[in-house]
Amino acid sequence: MRAAVAVEALKMRRSRLPWLTVLALSVVALVGGLFMFILADQQRARAMGLLGAKASLVANEADWAAYFGFLAQANAVGGMVVFGLAVTWLFGREFSQGTAKDLLALPTGRGVIVSAKFVVGAVWFLVLGGYVYLLGLAIGAALGLPGWSGVLAVAGLGKLMATSVMTTLLVAPVALAASAGRGYLPGVGFMIAAVFLAQIVAALGYGHVFPWSVPALFSGLAGPEREQPGVLGYALVLLVGVGGAWATASWWTRADQDR
């Protein structure tokens, strides 16, 4: 397992994926910072028209609580897209680039290779969560946001990492789509469909039982007045993660690899 993880880590490290994911999530944190910058001065927010209006939708005022909330919410939705694309790359590339066949008859079993991909992906996604938090701290400090407290900072970290964990679990089926579909497109398609449906189902009021809506509800994207997902919602997220990983490993092990 250690060898397979090292191999997957090398493949990821030498690709553009780490930089692209860092860039994407940096933009998320910077946009949040921009909103806080606008909200810090209401006059300036109104003067900036639409952007000001958007910033007002994100939060009513610029402080640490609002910024941590924004980061968690953005991580819930943006993370789904970024992590989904990363998982699509991790698995779909083996088929798009024709390297999958070289992984199928080795002393290192196919299940181990699939597990190594998930391990490397999950570790990187958690690192990304930590990075967004640290970048958020730097941006918030640079903006001089009011309302700082140690308790708030820990709670903000907890919420951000919890959304990262949930999002990581929810992109596991993307691996199955990219594998069974033998390329990038099916994975991307699955991810887009999941993000789209999450918005619709949440708007209809059933988000607490639709796993892909759960991180957004948990992070407060639907508003503080909406109730939290509940045990069933979290259990479904766990089920999607475990089931997606198992189904992917099972497909690699059992399906005919004839292309």
Partner 1 sequence: MATTAPVIDASELTKRYGDLAAVDAVSLRVEPGEIYALLGLNGAGKTTMIRMLLGMVRPTSGQVTLLGERVRRGHDEMWSRVGYLVETPAAYPELTVVENLAVVARLRGLTDPRAVGAVVERLGLSAYAGNRAGTLSLGNAQRLGLAKALIHRPDLVILDEPANGLDPAGVAEIRALLLDLAREHGVSVLLSSHILTEVARLATRIGVIDHGLLLKEIATEDLASLARPRLSVAARDGDRVAEALRVAGLVASADGDGYVIEDERAVRRPDDVAALLVAAGCPPTRLVVTQDDLETYFLKLVEPR
Among 1, 51, 53, 106, contact with partner 1 (rule: CB under 8 A) = 106
Among 19, 43, 57, 97, contact with partner 1 (rule: CB under 8 A) = 97
Told to check if 257 binds partner 1 by CB under 8 A, we report yes
Among 1, 23, 104, 239, contact with partner 1 (rule: CB under 8 A) = 104
> What's the min distance (Å) between Cβ of 154 and partner 1?
39
Q: What is the largest CA-CA distance in the chain?
A: 66
Told to check if 113 binds partner 1 by CB under 8 A, we report yes
Among 14, 49, 57, 231, contact with partner 1 (rule: CB under 8 A) = 14
C-beta closer to partner 1: residue 108 or 149: 108
Among 39, 48, 102, 165, contact with partner 1 (rule: CB under 8 A) = 102
Among 30, 47, 101, 193, contact with partner 1 (rule: CB under 8 A) = 101
Among 46, 51, 98, 204, contact with partner 1 (rule: CB under 8 A) = 98
Told to check if 119 binds partner 1 by CB under 8 A, we report no
Residue 161: name the closest of 219, 119, 117, 115 by CA: 219
CB atoms within 10 A of CB 180: 16
Told to check if 46 binds partner 1 by CB under 8 A, we report no
| C-alpha–C-alpha distance, residues 33 and 215, integer Å | 21
Binding mask 190-219 for partner 1 (x = CB under 8 A): ------------------------------
| C-alpha–C-alpha distance, residues 241 and 237, integer Å | 6
Told to check if 1 binds partner 1 by CB under 8 A, we report no
Q: Which residues touch 215 (CB under 8 Å, ≥6 apart)? A: 75, 76, 77, 79, 80, 163, 166, 167, 170, 237
Report 159-178 residues binding partner 1 (CB under 8 A). none
Among 6, 134, 138, 204, contact with partner 1 (rule: CB under 8 A) = 6
Q: Which residues touch 118 (CB under 8 Å, ≥6 apart)? A: 172, 175, 245, 248
Among 60, 99, 149, 228, contact with partner 1 (rule: CB under 8 A) = 99
Told to check if 108 binds partner 1 by CB under 8 A, we report yes
Q: Which residue has the tokens 């990581």?
A: 168
CA dihedral (20, 23, 29, 32) positive or negative = negative
User: Which positions lie near partner 1, rule CB under 8 A?
Assistant: 3-4, 6-7, 10-11, 14-15, 97-99, 101-109, 113, 253-254, 256-258
